[in-house]
Amino acid sequence: MSELILGKAISESIYTELRERIESLKSKGITPGLAVVLVGSDPASEVYVRMKGKKCEELGMHSVTMTLPENTTEEELLKKVEELNNDKSVHGFLVQLPLPPHIDEKKVIYAIDPKKDVDCFHPVNVGKMLIGEPEFLPATPAGVQQMLVRSGTETKGKHVVVVGRSNIVGKPMAAMMMQKGDGADSTVTVVHSRTKDLPSITRLADILIVAMGKPNFVTADMVKEGAVVIDVGTNRIDDPVKGSKLVGDVDFEGVKSKVSAISPVPGGVGPMTICMLMANTVAAAEKARVSR
Ligand code: NDP
């Protein structure tokens, strides 16, 4: 029987630790604050933004949700970013992506104060992470790393294969696993859509981290016996009974009996992303206190 690595349970234990840190900050008169800016009314983005606000409130954090109309200009959005950069009650904030096509996402991300960039998308923070001096860690890869650490998965000297090279998941994931230290020290290979004979490489993985956006792509023949598999993929597909359902990039049913541990979808990586965003916000509040 393979072990299930459940982000839901792991995130609960991290929230317990965060509550203590939040209480400690509050006892010193500081309430960690997270702001989320949403432009337009993309339904998936609205759900994420609501979830982030709800989690802040559950944790007793200060939460600001700024909803701006679809026709907001780039200049108006940059002004909001500047306001949040200067707002002392907001320790971290993010602008929910994707933005409407008339706004340059890069310009907006570059305008965020790196000390408040809790998504870790600003190039200064990406660079700091790469050289092993992180201000923050990007939420989804950090969540995966915590799942490995807290499930007792040894990463030192292990061959980690990351499937996918996006700026949000694959690239930072690979960069984090190759760092020196606990939960890392791995030998890392990254594969993508231009990789030749991908299964011959995924089969070498002691730890296989998949972030492709291709439902059930990774099948049992692509995985080494006894490997640990973390499935970041989140894909909604048709279901004859329920209408639709969420599945990962890994064929969970086919793969689970061959590996030593695997994360399911849903209930795997999903809950970790918001959890790590909250952790980054608490860390930002702690750092702001020290640097005052
Ligand atoms: P992107 O679409 O940005 O990147 C997908 C990556 O997979 C690309 O590098 C692409 O290669 C690679 N890829 C696609 N098809 C193949 C293939 N046939 N063979 C090999 N490689 C392939 O996606 P994201 O990284 O943003 O997201 C990946 C998945 O993770 C999605 O399902 C997304 O919903 C999910 N996700 C889940 C999160 C969570 O909180 N649980 C958070 C973020 C993402 P190439 O670069 O060559 O095109």
Which of 157, 153, 120 lies closest to 136 in space, CA to CA?
120
Rounded to the nearest angstrom, the distance between the alpha carbon of 165 and the centre of ligand 1 is: 7
Rounded to the nearest angstrom, the distance between the alpha carbon of 77 and the centre of ligand 1 is: 28
Which of the residues are catalytic?
52, 96, 119
The answer to whether the CB of 218 falls within 8 A of the CB of 253 is no
The answer to whether the CB of 105 falls within 8 A of the CB of 86 is no
For the Cβ of 164 lying below 6 angstroms from any atom of ligand 1, the answer is yes
Which of 19, 98, 8 lies closest to 60 in space, CA to CA?
19
Which of 184, 150, 152, 141 lies closest to 260 in space, CA to CA?
152
pTM exceeds cut of 0.95: yes
Give, in degrees to the nearest 5, the angle at Cα 179 between 131 and 210: 115
The answer to whether the CB of 221 falls within 8 A of the CB of 199 is yes
Structure tokens at 7: 């982000």
Of 212, 219, 237, 249, the residue with max ligand 1 atoms within 8 A of its CB, to mutate for a pocket test, comes to 212
Q: Give the atom of ligand 1 at the shortest distance from the alpha carbon of 163.
A: 21
For the Cβ of 235 lying below 6 angstroms from any atom of ligand 1, the answer is yes
65 phi, psi to nearest 5 deg: -115, 120
Output the pLDDT for position 177: 98
State which amino acid sits at residue 107: K
Tens place of pLDDT per residue across the chain (292 aa): 799 999 999 999 999 999 999 999 999 999 999 999 999 999 999 999 999 999 999 999 999 999 999 999 999 999 999 999 999 999 999 999 999 999 999 999 999 999 999 999 999 999 999 999 999 999 999 999 999 999 999 999 999 999 999 999 999 999 999 999 999 999 999 999 999 999 999 999 999 999 999 999 999 999 999 999 999 999 999 999 999 999 999 999 999 999 999 999 999 999 999 999 999 999 999 999 766 5
Give, in degrees to the nearest 5, the angle at Cα 141 between 93 and 196: 135
Rounded to the nearest angstrom, the distance between the alpha carbon of 8 and the centre of ligand 1 is: 22
Question: 202-238 pLDDT, tens per residue?
Answer: 999 999 999 999 999 999 999 999 999 999 999 999 9
* Distance set, CA 239 to CA 189, 234, 291 (Å): 34, 15, 52
For the Cβ of 270 lying below 6 angstroms from any atom of ligand 1, the answer is yes
The answer to whether the CB of 233 falls within 8 A of the CB of 249 is yes
Q: Give the atom of ligand 1 at the shortest distance from the alpha carbon of 194.
A: 47
Rounded to the nearest angstrom, the distance between the alpha carbon of 167 and the centre of ligand 1 is: 10
* Distance set, CA 127 to CA 111, 142, 153, 187, 285 (Å): 16, 16, 27, 20, 22
Output the pLDDT for position 292: 54
Output the pLDDT for position 289: 72
For the Cβ of 232 lying below 6 angstroms from any atom of ligand 1, the answer is yes
For the Cβ of 211 lying below 6 angstroms from any atom of ligand 1, the answer is yes
Output the pLDDT for position 145: 98
For the Cβ of 168 lying below 6 angstroms from any atom of ligand 1, the answer is yes
